[in-house]
Structure formats: C-alpha cells, structure tokens
Structure 1
Amino acid sequence: MRAMTAKTPMRQAAIASHPSGPALSVQGVRKSFGPTQVLCGIDLTLVHGERLAIIGPNGAGKSTLFDVVTGRTRPDGGRVLMNARDVTGRAPHVISRLGLSRSFQTSQLFDHMSVIDHLRCAGLWPGGHRYTFWRRMHGLDDVTRRSERWLTRLGLSDRRDVPAGALSYAEQRVLEVGLCAASAGSVMLLDEPTAGMSQSESARMVALIADLSQGRSLLMIEHDMHVVFSLADRIAVMARGAIIACDTPARIRAHPDVRTAYLGDYADAFGETHDGDARDA
C-alpha cells in the first residue's frame, strides 16, 4: 500500500494558527502496577486539529497512557487537561461528555445490537437526549436521521440492521471508529485502528480516518508505519514508559535513537519513495 499524505501546507498552517491552548495536555503522568513502573513522567501535548501518532514496542505503556487519559485508570502522579480543563481521574463518561471519544485494541461492540442502534446510542448525547431507559431510540427521528447519514459515510448502509457480531472484522473496526466520530467528540483516541487488516482494508481505513478527523484532534496508537506516516502531523515514540522523541515524521525518521529502537530499515525504505513528504514536513 502506498501511503497517502494528509500533511498539506494549508493543513499545517491551520493547526499552527489555532488561537486557543492545547486540545489535550498530559503533564508528568506516572503510573505503576505494583513494583513495575509503566508510565515514567509522560509529557505530551496534542494541539487543536492535529493528528499525533504514538509508536513504540509492545509493553511501552501506550495503552496504559490511553487508559489514564480517558479515566479508566487513575495515575499515581501528574495531570491530564482537555481544553485547559483538568480531567485527571474523572469518570470515563464525564470525560466523554466533555468531548473525548476512544476506540480500543479489541472490539467493544455489542454483538447482538444492530449497526444502526450502535450509531443511535453514539448520537444520543450530542443530539441533546439524556439516557432514559423507558424511551425507545426508534422513536427519536432526529437521532435516526443522523445515524443514517453516518451509515452512508462509513460505507455500512447495506449492513444497517445486521448485528455487530455478524460483521466482518474490518467492518467492526470501521464501526468502532465511526462511533468515535458520531459521538461528536472534538478529540479522538484510536488504539491500533488498522491492526489485523489486509493492505486494502488498511488503505480504506486510512482514508476514513483522514476524513473523520477533519476539524478534530486525533491521538492514535499504531504499529503499521505506512499508516503512521500517511496520517500523522507529528509522531511520539514511547519506550519503557517514556517519550524518547516527539517530532515531525521526517525528523522522527532520521532520529538515530528512534531508528535504533524501533524503525530500523523501515526509515530508509520509506524515505526512498517519500522524499517529497520529508521536504514538506
């Protein structure tokens, strides 16, 4: 799959000129499980409209960092701020309602719930509806109309009434990413969205993420370097619970410590066919 760049000069200028503070700021976050220190004082900033990819070997602490940011895990120290509001240790549903949405490494769908009902659920809160268990979603015409539009955008219209458990693996991943966007969050966290996909499926997912992340801030964990270099405005490299580098794709590709620790020969292979991207970064 040839990676398709999303880092145009116009896009970079829009990111750099945003008048407010960071969309997400992780400040000195630490987390240990027993004697094992998993996060060692993480500092990371996601600016408005930016796509930031986190890469690193298994066990580096990437998913634990996502758990801390989304409120699933309370840190031992440090702070997490979203749009300058301290959300450290707050409940996941509270952080979600403040505009943060997340997908997981493994499927978190309801196997027996239809695709359209998943999207209806995601659209309740942003549509101004509160969770009232005695009211049927099917009667909420505005929610259904928005959900139908999301079905079209995700390419799942013909799977409308299919239970999520009957979808193919790639379709489930598409639905999960779509749920993040349909919840109307301004900050999206995607944990390995293309894991286990074929090259063609991965290419379609890259195009979908590029579309859905327009006007949002994206923080993404990903192991597929084609996907990372296709989407990311910046790349943060984690190893042993710490950020060892965070910079533009071109500079990360040339960073000696990153090449040794993670990228290896991929940096040279990617550079041979993407020199134009490197000059633009």
Structure 2
Amino acid sequence: MQSLIGTGVALVTPFNKDLSVDTEALQRIVNFSVDGGVEYLVILGTTAENAMLSAEEKELVIDTIVKTNKGRLPLVLGVGGNNTLEVVNELKTRNFADFEAILSVSPYYNKPSQEGIYQHFKAIAEASPIPVILYNVPGRTSSNMSPKTVLRLASDFENIVAIKEAAGDLVQAMQLLKNKPQDFLVISGDDMIALPMVLAGGAGVISVIGQGFPKEFSEMIRLGLNRKVDEAFKTQYFLDECIDMIFEQGNPAGIKEVFHYLGIADNTLRLPLVNVDEDLSKRIESFVKKSIKKD
C-alpha cells in the first residue's frame, strides 16, 4: 500500500452560517490540500463532524470530494461504528470504486473487550471489498486496542493493511513498529508525534493540521521518511505551537479557525461543538499571519 505512505489529511466538513454543508468551501479545501502536496485524502473521519451529518449530507460530502479530486490523489473513506452489523451492511452495499481503503474506528461507547474488538474487525475484514485501516483512538472510544490485538489482526487478515495509531503513546507505537508484519503500515494519528513515529519506522500520518498547512507538514513527513532529521525537525518546531492550539479546545474547532483566517472556509460548527474562545482565536490568527509571512 505505497499510496498510504506519507501524509493523509482528515478533511473537515465546512458549513455555511445556516449550518448547511458548504460544498464550495469543501472544494477549496480539497484543492488546497492537493496543491499543497499531501499524498492522500481521508473522507468522513472524526474531523469531518461525521456524527453530526445526516446520511444525505454524508453522500453530498463524498460526492463533492470525489468530483473535486478528479482522481488526483488516493481516497480513504471512514466506515466504522460500534454496531458491527451496521458497519458490515454498509461494506456490503456501498460502491467503493473511488476508494483505496476504508478507515474503521475501534468500537466506541460500549467498550468491548480485546476479543470483542478482534471479532468486530474480523467481521469487517471479511466483509470489506477493499483494504482496511484500523483506527485506535482511546481518547474518543474509551478503550485501547492493544498492540497484541492489532498484531493478531494484521497477521490473520491480509486486507487489514495498516493502523492509524492515535493513542498518543510513542512507546505503544514502537511496540507495533517492532513486531508488525513487514508490509503492515503504522500510521500516526497524532500530529505532534507524527515525525518521531516516522523516524522510528512509521509510514506517515493521517493529519488534521496537514490540511491547514499542507505544504509545510507534508514536506516535513517526507523529510522524515528520507531521514533528513535536522531539516524535518526545523519544520516540526515551527508548527508545534499551532498543533497544540488547534486541539486546545477540541477538533475540528481549531483547524476550522485556521481555515477562517486563511480565507478558505467559515469557522461554523454544529452543536454540541462550539467555536474556540476569543483568546485562542487571536493566537491562531497570529500564527496564520506568521506562517504567511514565512512563505
């Protein structure tokens, strides 16, 4: 899965002031990411406010991104949930002709055991017509997919090709990197430790900040993959201030504020999410202005 090496970006869903999906802004975001040099696009992940979109709106988002992308970059679609039968049904009924892989989150809220997580992804692997990227994000799911479970799935199912590892635990990531099958990809789900994970043997990142600063962030990851460490960390240390800020009051509130100051999309969110406060907004504005001057 060479197409999944480098920087993927988990695209936001921009809204108009009336809370409808802003398809024109979404087109601008896609083109901004593509022109900025990222390697692939991730549709309907957590950053897309997926939980607040209707079924019809999800199809609108998918259709807009596919048509705007025009085959330029590989596409990954978020297909996951905590109802295994529902996820399997979607996998059996959706047309995946435009997609390279699916990204499927570990079940949230009902907190299954490690065996339950394994059986959930076993059912998904057996139903999916395209490769599967596991997604471990304990901060949202309230359960950690252990390295043992991940490695078991990677060994048992050829179409489970990667994991987006977002536990924020570099030691856990290194356990995966040390023991994984040769062709299995460990992809960072945390922007702040993406470069260290790459230098430890990771395949790249599925990023939030990467869509706001695609040129800088994707180049940093490529430098890391090419072991140009000093150059890569120079960019890391420039961006880390903003990485902290965009998650300070929740995702995607922070990255939407970046787009607002870049003039690409409005910063409207849907409840229960709300905008960042005035202090954080001003700090993000200052960083965006600084980044523009730097270019």
Shorter-chain TM band: 0.3 to 0.5
The structure with more helix, counted as a fraction of residues: 2
Looking at CA atoms only, which structure, 1 or 2, has the larger radius of gyration? 1
Higher RCO (Cα < 8 Å, 6 or more apart): 1
The structure that is strand-richer by fraction is 1
